[in-house]
Amino acid sequence: MEKEKTKTKYNTLNKNKINEMITTLENYYKDAKCSLDYNCPIELVVALILAAQCTDERVNKIVPLLFKKYKDVYELAKAPIEDIEKIIKPCGFYKNKAANISKTANIIVNNFNGKVPNIMEDLCTLGGIGRKSSNIILQECFNNTVGIAVDTHVTRISRKIGLSNSTTPENIEKDLMSIVPKKYWNKINHIFVYHGRAICIARKPNCDICPIKDICMKNA
């Protein structure tokens, strides 16, 4: 019964409303961009591995330290995991993340001639890199948009505002791709991350000052 109610709500958002909602947020968060710093694709790959359960600010401090010691993916592939662990420890879950960084560097060296791959299927073979991170790498480093990066902000906000009633990132991405015009696919993640941090905060969304409060399905 509850499921049907949610579905009806979801279906009432039409294409015009979706466009209005996204363009309103796009104008509101004009400067929205990837908040992870990187100089080359391998730095972004490592930053995305470290970003799980960690703030972007902290990741942005640790990535330069790692690449100060290991100049490129070849040096990173040879680095003892314990040494990587010591550098990345402040990012949390450091054992797992160090193992994934080492595994990823070795896969890139051995399978992709030392270059970060530019195909979704190949990127998903790297350690600690799934569809969400692959979408970001493709968009940021290769100007290639094949999907929508669905993280916790995109998951929560898409469900709240009425763009999806799915629960898994994979299904939410499919829902979004079916209703959001492709020109917005590479912007949705950044816009929703900014919105999730500034106004549509997980514990206490600030609906009173929200630029899309009249369209958001939460208030329908």
* Binding of residue 216 to ligand SF4 (CB under 6 A): yes
Pick the binder of ligand SF4 from 14, 189, 205, 220 (CB under 6 A): 205
Structure token pair of residue 22 = 């996204």
- Cα 169 from chain centre: 11
CB 34 within 8 A of CB 188: no
Please report, to the nearest 10 degrees, the dihedral formed by the alpha carbons of residues 177, 44, 32, 131 taken in order. Answer: 20
CB 208 to ligand SF4: min, Å? 8
* Binding of residue 199 to ligand SF4 (CB under 6 A): yes
* C-beta closer to ligand SF4: residue 51 or 217: 217
For residues 183 and 193, give the distance between their C-alpha atoms in angstroms, rounded to a whole number: 18
* C-beta closer to ligand SF4: residue 197 or 213: 213
* C-beta closer to ligand SF4: residue 124 or 198: 198
Residue among 97, 103, 151, 187 flagged as catalytic = 151
CB 104 to ligand SF4: min, Å? 35
* C-beta closer to ligand SF4: residue 147 or 196: 196
Nearest to 63 by CA among 77, 76, 53: 76
Cβ neighbors of 132 (< 8 A, separation 6 or more) are 149, 150, 151, 169
Where does this chain bind ligand SF4 (CB under 6 A)?
Answer: 160-161, 199-200, 205-207, 210, 212-213, 216, 218-219
Residues annotated as part of the active site? 132, 151
